[in-house]
């Protein structure tokens, strides 16, 4: 008698799709599977040299799969800076295979910082400091490739300790770039009156590192107690009439329980026009983490909903269609004293921003204008605290709310919440970087998608090259000092 064949068993996951990623050990470009298990989404991949890796990319499969319909056709930039040679992500960029233009460009003006955070994707420290001439030529190239550039963000290191930051901001304004931002830890803004006055005159939006309201959070993420200095800097920004967007790095077991309090704090603070949550990106310097339990976008959304006493519902958060829609979600609120009205309660945003399943936009007289306004708001180029964003909010709202007519007044009532999940070596997905709309400008004229810059090795290459060039220039200058003029 033959024994029955062994019973087949089902896999404990759904195979969702195949993409390309990198090996977390050697950065080789390898195939990657996206799988769904227990309503969570994971990336699973095998490097021939280093074996299998798995990491979570979304803690809510329904949200992840549902976001795909919020995917808008990209806009081709006016020029590309590299050729297609080795394939994505090794040809950045932008190469002609890229699927989106740059909505938001960053210039990292230096690598030095006045803090030494244990969590720092830029791995700030010794390196280079760009000259004003270098920054001017990068801005010129940005204008060439974009025509009408939307947003430039000066970052670092810590850009506020660069002695020529004010001139760099002015150079961006002189080129007609619509919005200039500075990305800062706030230390110099808290301590330096002259610098604060310079910023008040130039009026950039301040992208302000603010990880929570507990000192232990700062000790864990920034390595020192910073709460007082953050509060002082924000109070001084309010006095100076500058707008700030709080930028919170969120790490598991550190501050996931503070996301609601950060939103509530931002809503009440006179300088704050928005909050950006960024699950900690495990590149550069970071504290030990488990790729299977890292924080993802749905963790932050659920946290906000659960921690704000009924102020928000999950549907208030909508994927951003200009980049790949799993990269970012946004919400907008109209704030009038204690009354907070999320924009998605006033109109059916799905009907305007769902590009796959529902292309019939409502048959209303101003539907095309509303769609354009929503596309502007649900974009990486939307900057809270500006008249431009207030104007788009007003257009999208239509008569649904009794809004102040004056945009300068309205901008103080429009509040943005954004959640951005930058990619690391465990989550890197070429599908996302190919449609990335956030680019790091480099002095050789490239614009490298932000997550490729951080994860693939571009950051290290460019930092080494710029640091060596600067070292050589210093040696030449010193040796020339000793020579008599010819
Ligand atoms: S990320 Fe974009 S620019 Fe970079 S290689 Fe891929 S397609 Fe080209
Ligand atoms: S995270 Fe920002 S503030 Fe901290 S060391 Fe890095 S650049 Fe400096
Ligand atoms: S920076 Fe990263 S997360 Fe943001 S749009 Fe680009 S690929 Fe997506």
The bridge status of strand 14-22 relative to strand 29-37 is antiparallel
Class (C level, CATH) for 102-289: alpha beta
447 alpha carbon, closest ligand? 1
Atom of ligand 2 nearest to the CA of 187: 3
Ligand 3 pocket test target in 420, 424, 430, 456 with most atoms within 8 Å of CB: 420
d(CA 483, CA 428): 52
Q: Taking the model in full, what pTM does it have?
A: 0.95
105 alpha carbon, closest ligand? 3
Centre of ligand 2 to C-alpha 360, Å, is 46
Q: What is the pLDDT of residue 385?
A: 86
List 129's β-bridge partners, or say none: 110
Residue 393 pLDDT grade (very low, low, confident, very high; cuts 50, 70, 90) = confident
94 alpha carbon, closest ligand? 1
Q: What is the pLDDT of residue 398?
A: 72
Please name the helix (run of DSSP H) or strand (run of DSSP E) that holds residue 62, with its range, or none.
Answer: helix 61-66
Per DSSP, the three-state class of 75 is coil
Q: Measuring CA to CA, which residue among 462, 480, 476, 479 is closest to residue 128? A: 462
Interval 15-26 mean pLDDT: 97
What six digits make up the tokens of 447?
């614009």
How far is the CA of 364 from the CAs of 25, 147, 198, 321, 361, in angstroms? 53, 32, 46, 22, 8
439 alpha carbon, closest ligand? 3
Q: What is the pLDDT of residue 100?
A: 96
Q: What is the pLDDT of residue 219?
A: 97
Atom of ligand 2 nearest to the CA of 113: 8
Q: What is the pLDDT of residues 348-384, one digit of tens each?
A: 888 888 887 766 666 666 888 888 899 999 998 898 8
402 compared with 226, residue with greater pLDDT: 226
Using the predicted structure, report yes or no on whether residue 412 has a pLDDT greater than 90.
no
Ligand 2 pocket test target in 121, 124, 186 with most atoms within 8 Å of CB: 124
Q: What is the pLDDT of residues 221-280, one digit of tens each?
A: 999 999 999 999 999 999 999 999 999 999 999 999 999 999 999 999 999 999 999 999
| Range from 170-174, 293-297, 399-403 carrying the lowest mean pLDDT | 399-403
Q: What is the pLDDT of residue 400?
A: 65
d(CA 299, CA 59): 7
Outline where 335-445 has alpha helix (H): 349-353, 367-377, 387-397, 407-410, 430-434
Atom of ligand 1 nearest to the CA of 87: 5
Atom of ligand 2 nearest to the CA of 123: 6
Centre of ligand 3 to C-alpha 422, Å, is 6
In whole numbers, what is the pLDDT of the chain averaged over residues? 93
Residue nearest to atom 1 of ligand 1 (CA): 434
Residue nearest to atom 1 of ligand 2 (CA): 120
d(CA 292, CA 29): 21
d(CA 163, CA 167): 9
DSSP label at residue 271 = T
113 alpha carbon, closest ligand? 2
Centre of ligand 3 to C-alpha 200, Å, is 30
Q: What is the pLDDT of residue 138?
A: 98
Centre of ligand 1 to C-alpha 4, Å, is 53
Centre of ligand 2 to C-alpha 55, Å, is 25
| Ligand 2 pocket by Cβ (under 6 Å) | 113, 115-117, 120, 122, 124, 156-158, 185
| Ligand 3 pocket by Cβ (under 6 Å) | 323-324, 327, 420, 422-423, 432-433, 436-438, 449-451
Residue nearest to atom 6 of ligand 2 (CA): 120
Sorted by where each begins, the domain ranges of the chain are 14-62, 102-289
Atom of ligand 3 nearest to the CA of 422: 3
Interval 300-319 mean pLDDT: 96
57 alpha carbon, closest ligand? 3
Atom of ligand 2 nearest to the CA of 222: 4
Q: What is the pLDDT of residues 52-106, one digit of tens each?
A: 999 999 999 999 999 999 999 999 999 999 999 999 999 998 999 999 999 999 9
């Amino acid at each position: 008698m033959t024994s029955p064949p062994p019973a087949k068993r089902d896999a404990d996951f759904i195979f969702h799709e195949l993409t390309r990623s990198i090996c977390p050990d050697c950065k080789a470009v390898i195939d990657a599977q996206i799988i769904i298990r227990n309503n969570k989404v994971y990336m699973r991949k095998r490097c021939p040299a280093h074996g299998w890796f798995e990491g979570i990319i979304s803690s809510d499969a329904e949200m992840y799969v549902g976001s795909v319909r919020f995917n808008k056709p990209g806009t081709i930039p006016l020029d590309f800076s590299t050729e297609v040679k080795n394939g994505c992500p090794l040809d950045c960029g932008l190469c002609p295979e890229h699927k989106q233009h740059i909505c938001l460009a960053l210039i990292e003006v230096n690598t030095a910082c006045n803090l030494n955070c244990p969590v720092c994707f830029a791995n700030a420290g010794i390196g280079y400091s760009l000259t004003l001439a270098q920054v001017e030529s990068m801005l010129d190239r940005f204008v060439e490739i974009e025509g009408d550039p939307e947003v430039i963000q000066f970052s670092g290191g810590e850009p506020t300790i660069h002695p020529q930051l004010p001139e760099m901001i002015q150079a961006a304004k002189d080129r007609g770039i619509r919005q200039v931002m500075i990305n800062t830890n706030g230390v110099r803004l808290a301590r330096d009156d002259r610098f604060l006055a310079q910023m008040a005159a130039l009026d950039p939006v301040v992208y302000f590192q603010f990880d929570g309201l507990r000192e232990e959070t700062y000790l864990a993420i920034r390595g020192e107690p910073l709460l007082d200095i953050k509060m002082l800097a924000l109070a001084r920004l309010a006095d100076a009439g500058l707008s700030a967007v709080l930028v919170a790095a969120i790490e598991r077991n550190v501050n996931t329980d503070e996301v609601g309090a950060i939103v509530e704090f931002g809503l009440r603070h006179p300088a704050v026009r928005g909050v950006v949550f960024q699950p900690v990106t495990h590149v550069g310097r970071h504290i030990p983490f488990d790729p299977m339990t890292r924080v993802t976008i749905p963790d932050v959304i659920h946290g906000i909903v659960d921690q704000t006493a009924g102020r928000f519902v999950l549907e208030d958060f909508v994927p951003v269609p200009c980049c790949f829609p799993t990269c970012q979600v946004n919400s907008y609120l109209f704030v009038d004293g204690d009354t907070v009205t999320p924009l998605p309660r006033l109109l059916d945003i799905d009907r305007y921003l769902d590009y796959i399943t529902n292309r019939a936009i409502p048959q209303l007289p101003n539907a095309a204008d509303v769609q354009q306004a929503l596309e502007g708001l649900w974009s990486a180029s939307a900057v809270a605290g500006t008249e431009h964003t207030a104007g788009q909010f007003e257009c999208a709202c239509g008569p649904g709310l009794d809004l102040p007519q004056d945009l300068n007044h309205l901008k103080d009532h429009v509040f943005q919440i954004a959640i951005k999940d930058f990619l690391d070596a465990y989550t890197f997905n070429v599908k996302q970087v190919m449609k990335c709309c956030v680019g790091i400008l480099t002095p050789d004229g490239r614009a490298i998608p932000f997550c490729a810059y951080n994860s693939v090795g571009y950051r290290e290459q460019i930092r080494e090259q710029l640091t060596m060039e600067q070292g050589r220039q210093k040696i030449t200058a010193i040796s020339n000092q000793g020579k008599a003029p010819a």
